[in-house]
Structure 1
């Protein structure tokens, strides 16, 4: 049972969010959804006790519409940041698991706006760093440090190519080395699930980009070979 008297939103109020939840539960109400989003997720990154108190209700509404799915996903994505509500979020474990099922079914239906729901599902599965940085691989760049010589290496996956390079701010990317994409047999963990989901849903460009992201790169400076995703995740994984 939610104690709304302690579940304040971004304005410090405790009464407005439950009223708005009742409104959106009765039917599509664009104004109510807009206000609910502002109160639960501030500037796309900050959440509050009311955000987690509202999460089970949002998840219950998620099969019915994109606004509920998107707002529930935004709350879960923000759980990676500082909010002081770890105990409240822990109580939402059942709702988070249910949201994962809802999002997976939604993705399997191959929606036109595929990537936002995919990123939300990544957060639900605990891959917050990939949820925050993964693009559509049309023009993606990842900066990593070579684990052997500490050189800053640029990883490009997009229309300009799939390569590792040294970035020179006057000459652009220099000393390009082609990436070595992972195969289905060499993928594991989160990368394997991400790739399998994209393949299942007919997202060829996304699947190819993931294979390169979770593949291996050659350092242009020392010629050593390393796992791109391993090095990037190790440097950018949020402290929970």
Structure 2
């Protein structure tokens, strides 16, 4: 049983979240969901004790509610942050496992909110850095540091091109080099899972973008070749407590 008197939300209140959870369970109230959202997930990726206390309840509603599924996903995407609620997160282990199965089944149905569910599942798998940045590959950019000459390289993945470049704020992306996508058989780890899940669900654009993201780039400055995902992960992967 949750002791809500100790579970302050992102607005430092302790009474509104349990009331709102009861309200959205009774009726699909748009305004109640909106208020619940800004009480459980604050700007700048912050969450609170009430966020994790509410997570099991949201997961129970998630199979029939896009709002519950989305909000639970947003909370999970912030689970690696400095929220001071590690014990509450650990208590959610069963709900998180249930959410993982639910999200996988949801993705198989090829829903309209595919990308949001895909990112939530990445967070459930503790791939927080990818959950935060993977887009639909129509207008995506990643900044990495060349491991050989330490210059900042822009990785572009979108309809405008798939290349590495040096970003000049006056001239734009200069010295472009085409990316080298990873062959499917050479993918491993989380990259392989991401690619195979997208292929399984018929999301060819996402699969192709992932192959490029986990492929290789040429540094426009020194000409060396490096793995994009490895360099991005080394710079952005959070240290799990």
* TM range, smaller chain: over 0.9
Q: Which residue of 1 aligns with 2:174?
A: 174
1:116-127, aligned counterparts within 5 Å? 116-127=116-127
Asked if the contact 1:44/1:74 (under 8 Å) is kept, the reply is no
Deviates more, 1:160-169 or 1:211-220: 160-169
2:62 equivalent to 1:72: no
2:201 equivalent to 1:201: yes
Extract unaligned runs of 5+ from structure 1: none
CA distance in 2, matches of 1:91, 1:197: 28
Report deviation, 1:172.
2.1
Q: Which residue of 1 aligns with 2:20?
A: 20
CA distance in 1, matches of 2:159, 2:31: 39
1:53-202, aligned counterparts within 5 Å? 53-202=53-202
CA distance in 2, matches of 1:210, 1:221: 24
CA distance in 1, matches of 2:174, 2:5: 59
Give secondary structure in 1 for the equivalent of 2:212: helix
- Distance change in 2, residues 1:21/1:155 (3 Å): same
Q: Which residue of 1 aligns with 2:40?
A: 40
Extract unaligned runs of 5+ from structure 2: none
Report deviation, 1:44.
6.2
Matched positions, count: 240
CA distance in 1, matches of 2:9, 2:118: 27
Give secondary structure in 2 for the equivalent of 1:64: coil
Give secondary structure in 2 for the equivalent of 1:22: helix
